[in-house]
Amino acid sequence: MQLLFSYGTLQQRDVQQATFGRLLHGTADELLGFHQSMVKIEDPDVVRTSGKTHHPIVARTGRPDDRVAGTVFEVTQEELAQADRYEVSDYKRVAAQLASGRTAWVYIDARALAAP
C-alpha cells in the first residue's frame, strides 16, 4: 500500500467514488513546511468531478511552523496512478513528511518546482 496525503478535493466522497471507484478511509494528519493557496482549474472534467473551479494547492516553504491540515489515505499503486490522472498539470506528486512522522505522496504546485 501507498500513503497519499490530501488537503483538497481527493477528500470529497464524490471525487473518491469517481476517481477510485470506492470511498477511501483515512486519518487526519498535517503536511509540514508547506503553505496552501488556490488555483483555477481549467480542465472541464475535473471541474465536473469536483464541482469546483478553484482547488487548493500547496507550495513548499521549508518553515516547520507552516502546516497544512488534511487526510492521509492508504491506496494501491493502481489507485495512485488513478489519482495522477485526476490531478491537472498544475500539480506534481512528491513524497513529503507529515506531522505524524510518516512520509506520504502529496500533490504540490508544479509551478513552484520550476521556479529558479
Cα–Cα nearest to 111, from 85, 90, 86 = 90
Phi/psi region, residue 43 (left: phi>0; alpha: psi -120 to 50; beta: rest), is: beta
* pLDDT score of 114: 64
- CB-CB contact of 30 with 99 (8 Å): yes
- Number of neighbouring beta carbons within 10 Å of residue 6: 24
Q: What is the pLDDT of residue 111?
A: 85
How far, in Å, are 14, 90, 91, 104 from residue 30 at the CA level? 23, 21, 18, 11
CATH class for the domain made up of 2-114: alpha beta
Q: What whole-number distance in Å separates Cα of residue 3 and Cα of residue 112? A: 23
Tracing cell 464524490 back to the chain, one arrives at 14
Output the tens digit of pLDDT for each of the chain's 116 residues.
999 999 999 999 999 999 999 999 999 999 999 999 999 989 999 989 999 999 999 999 989 899 999 999 999 999 999 999 999 999 999 999 999 999 999 999 998 776 55
**pLDDT value for 29:** 98
Residue 9 DSSP class? G
pTM: 0.91
